[in-house]
């Protein structure tokens, strides 16, 4: 079975620019997550979807970050405008359900904001 | 609320030696606990998980972990380190950050170095 796909793998932008990341989860996985991993830290959950609905976005900086999963399959995370502190790896993960179900992670997108 | 503390951001062992990576957690509900491994420029891969069945959990690549409720610990061990085990390891607890859905909270990670 194909894993979680993410693109692009690397992105360099200047501050105040916008950027978008794309994620395609494992087929049949209802739950999709976006995480932010700052260098030297563990991943931090930004937003969780169940099918095409948002389960939790309490840690998403909504003044600049947005995410959508319109058809309950692939998802896009956007940052507009970017700040220097947004430099991080953005990981997408998916799972069959919530709770004890294993999350499968994509390779991530490494964002550098200059 | 939930949190994870990983003691030691860097651990070095010799090839063939015991690997012990420490993880302590706090959770307001019975926890599910996970260990993930991350190789450079890759996503996280699940090593093993505890979901309230057997307290000694065996995972991939010879790793295992023991859930100790009295110590709120879930330490990761491997009897004999291999060079290919060099990576970053994350402990995570699944609990309720907000709302009614369980979510993962990760520790800050332990970088394992294996010396020849």
pLDDT (tens digit, 9 = 90+) per residue, A14-23? 999 999 999 9
Contact check, Cβ <8 Å, B49/A40: no
pLDDT at residue B99 tops 70: no
Q: What would the pLDDT profile of B27-38 be if each residue is shown by its tens digit?
A: 877 888 999 999
- Closest by Cα among B21, B19, B5, B10 to B92: B5
A101 has pLDDT over 80: no
How far off is chain A from B33, nearest CA to CA, in Å?
A: 9
Strands annotated E in chain A? 5-7, 10-13, 19-24, 31-37, 44-50, 53-56, 65-68, 75-79, 88-95, 104-105, 109-113
- Across the interface, whether the CB atoms of A48 and B41 are under 8 A apart is answered no
Contact flag B45-A56 (C-beta cutoff 8 Å): no
Q: How confident is the model at residue A100 (pLDDT cuts 50, 70, 90)?
A: low
| Residue A48 touches partner B, C-beta closer than 8 Å | yes
Percentage above 70 pLDDT, chain B:
95
**Nearest Cα to Cα of residue B49 among B9, B102, B10, B8:** B102
Please report the pLDDT score of residue A1 as a whole number. 66
Nearest chain A Cα distance for residue B32, angstroms? 6
Closest-CA residue of chain B to A98: B102
- Whole-angstrom distance, CA of residue A29 vs CA of residue A102: 11
B64-68 β-sheet, strand order: B2-7, B19-27, B73-78, B64-68, B56-58
What's residue B41's pLDDT? 83
Per-residue model confidence (pLDDT) at position A99: 62
pLDDT 10s digits, A14-65? 999 999 999 999 999 999 999 999 998 999 999 999 988 998 898 999 999 9
Q: Tens digit of pLDDT for each residue in A66-86?
A: 999 988 899 999 999 999 999
Which among B104, B113, B85, B82 is positioned nearest to B9, based on CA atoms?
B113
Cross-chain residue pair B101–A45, CB shorter than 8 Å: no
Give the pLDDT confidence score for residue A82 in this predicted structure. 97
**CB-CB contact of B91 with B66 (8 Å):** no
């Amino acid at each position: 079975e194909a894993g979680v796909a993410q693109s692009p793998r690397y992105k360099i932008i200047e501050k105040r620019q916008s950027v978008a990341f794309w994620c395609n989860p494992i087929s049949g996985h209802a739950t999709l997550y976006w995480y932010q991993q700052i260098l030297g830290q563990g991943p931090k959950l930004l937003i969780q979807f169940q099918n095409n609905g948002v389960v939790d976005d309490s840690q998403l900086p909504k003044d600049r970050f947005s995410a959508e999963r319109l058809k309950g399959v692939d998802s896009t995370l956007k940052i507009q405008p970017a700040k220097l502190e947004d430099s991080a790896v953005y990981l997408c993960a998916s799972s069959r359900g919530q709770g004890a179900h294993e999350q499968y992670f994509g390779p991530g997108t490494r964002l550098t904001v200059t | 609320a939930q949190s994870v503390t990983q003691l030691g951001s860097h651990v070095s062992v010799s090839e063939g030696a015991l690997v012990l990576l420490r993880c302590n957690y706090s959770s307001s509900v019975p926890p599910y606990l996970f260990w993930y491994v991350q190789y450079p420029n890759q996503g996280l891969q699940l090593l093993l998980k505890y979901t309230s069945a057997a307290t000694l959990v065996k995972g991939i690549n010879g790793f295992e972990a023991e859930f100790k409720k009295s110590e709120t610990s879930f330490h990761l061990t491997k009897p004999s380190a291999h060079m290919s085990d060099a990576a970053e390891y994350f402990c995570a607890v699944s609990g309720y950050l907000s709302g009614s859905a369980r979510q993962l909270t990760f520790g800050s990670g332990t970088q394992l170095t294996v010396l020849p």
